[in-house]
């Protein structure tokens, strides 16, 4: 929101772990003196001027932004991938509770197999440095 948005270091644990979060900075502020995006786990401070957008896996990376001056304006638009929506679709458009109440033994067993492989499958969707390096 705004007009003076500050985000303290955090991860978004309800987001899909291997999903992307789009962060867009809007407003009127001096990007040389504030509004930087900080990716703590990577040791990066990124100049983030108004109109910039970045995609990060916000459930995995601790992130925040640097405050702007009191006479400046910062708005942000955040778009993310809620893990709950992916579970709801996987469950046949049911909550976990509803799915478990009516699932067959085979469906429950398949769910457990899928659950155990989901993290590895999600990691496999990320590019490796050697794959993108020119």
**Which pTM does this prediction carry?**
0.81
pLDDT tens digit string along 32-70? 999 999 999 999 999 999 999 999 999 999 999 999 998
- Average predicted confidence (pLDDT) for the chain: 91
Average pLDDT over residues 105-126: 89
b/e sequence 35-62, b meaning 16+ C-beta within 10 Å: bbbbbeeeeeeeebebeeeeebbbbbbe
Average pLDDT over residues 22-40: 95
- Asked whether residue 93 carries a pLDDT value surpassing 90, the answer given is yes
% of the chain exceeding 90 in pLDDT: 72
- Asked whether residue 4 carries a pLDDT value surpassing 90, the answer given is no
- Asked whether residue 2 carries a pLDDT value surpassing 70, the answer given is no
């Amino acid at each position: 929101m705004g007009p003076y948005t500050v985000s303290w270091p955090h991860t978004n644990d309800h987001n899909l772990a291997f999903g992307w979060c789009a962060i867009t900075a809007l407003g009127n502020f001096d990007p040389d003196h504030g509004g930087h995006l900080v990716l703590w786990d990577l040791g990066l401070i990124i100049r983030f001027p108004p109109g910039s957008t970045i995609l990060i896996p916000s459930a995995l990376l601790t992130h925040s932004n640097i405050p702007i001056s009191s006479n400046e304006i910062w708005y942000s638009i955040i778009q993310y991938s809620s893990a709950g929506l992916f579970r709801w679709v996987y469950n046949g458009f049911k909550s976990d509770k509803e799915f478990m109440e009516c699932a067959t033994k085979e469906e429950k067993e398949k769910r457990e197999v899928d659950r155990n492989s989901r993290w590895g499958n999600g990691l496999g969707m990320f590019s490796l440095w050697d794959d993108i390096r020119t």
